[in-house]
Structure 1
């Protein structure tokens, strides 16, 4: 009897510790096909906003959403099937719809025959860590003034996009854009107004180009864009994009009650007509932009 009493005391102590743990804990039944939850502690309810009564009997995938990395989900599934300790980092969602990054550690519990009977998941909200890492990456790859990709970030994105275009046979194009007489803007109106010119150009490029196109600030008043999956006749399609951007950027805008009008020179290079490498395409687009600038200067003379 004392031994049974001691066992019961130990079980009660373990139950108390799991329930009182600061870390969110879940236990799922591994013997059921969909691995339903059979236990969640109070810390899990606090972290996720889901009450135990609403989640017991359900698979924990209710925490996932549209932006959850499917590769990480598949890795977690493979770990469960193997019965091995598994650690994954997932974008999960609380009951109110807000997202958080969840480091999930899953261990398998076995019976006396070695059969896996339950999975215990210990959750860790690592959102601050992930956000700090994201900010660090953005600081290295984003232009702080416009929020566009900087030169290094754009070059990396362009290399990857061109590799995909080469594999799929899709057409791509590079645009090189320079604000006309930008030095005079800074000299006459000051650098704060010059910054508005730059942010205005960046905003226009982001709004006029498609979401999956890549836009960056090369440096100074130079911008570059990669158009991917260019439809139809690539040369004609790019000409239309250039004409649309040129017209949009000419639209007047106001800074401190003063109306400003900006003009730009845009050069284009189409892959594979003008080159197949990032270096060749940027160089061709840059040369085309300067040719356009010379033509405009000659026309004003």
Structure 2
């Protein structure tokens, strides 16, 4: 197999402590981490501690749209190519180095399942961390780009060290995502257009792989974002100190309900699609509710 050039085998033979460390590094490109970071940046905006200078709702919404594009791109390309991961990708190594209580968590962090080409972590890393470098105004552009490139490189390396991808998978993820990032920032330019582009890509994944939880989630995430941002994007005010508090509070409650419902049920692809659309829409609209709630309370207090 042309993807198997031996790099994965060499890196996975590194000392166990290094492999365990890279299981943590790889979380910088995982969906749970990147989604949390993107949503918090969107909710907080210019109120983001030490990073908020120059951040507008449009800029932070663009980062969320780039994350949606990454999910749609990874799901669609994996479905089209349908190439397997390296042997043993589903089995964690060096579990003996960890306490018994942590081994289950480590196994979930250090393994991969499903198709392997291209690397979803590499795809998400380029679009999200590249989006951060574009959106933030801290330091110089060169510094932000260098930091983003270093994080992206470490995430890609972590997938090889853990043995869950071939080198070709990671490089392909970088290349595809880099092309989409360039398109989003130079041609599409607005969150609405990027969400729309991502929805088209998710639709292609649905055609290529059929209706599953993965394709349904990608479709719901992108369509929900496109519809809600087109309806309320222009109405969402910039964050205030009190409004941010209400927004985050409402957001934590919303995420808790969504996660609780997901864990408690065994949803069908249709339910996943609807849930992803509603969840994305709510997360985008929450600043509008939070700021209005803060304003109403301030008015009543006066």
What's the TM-score bracket when you normalise by the shorter of the two chains? under 0.3
| Bigger Rg, structure 1 or 2 | 1
Q: Normalising by structure 2, report the TM-score.
A: 0.25
Instruction: With a CA cutoff of 8 Å and minimum separation of 6, indicate the structure with the bigger relative contact order.
Output: 2
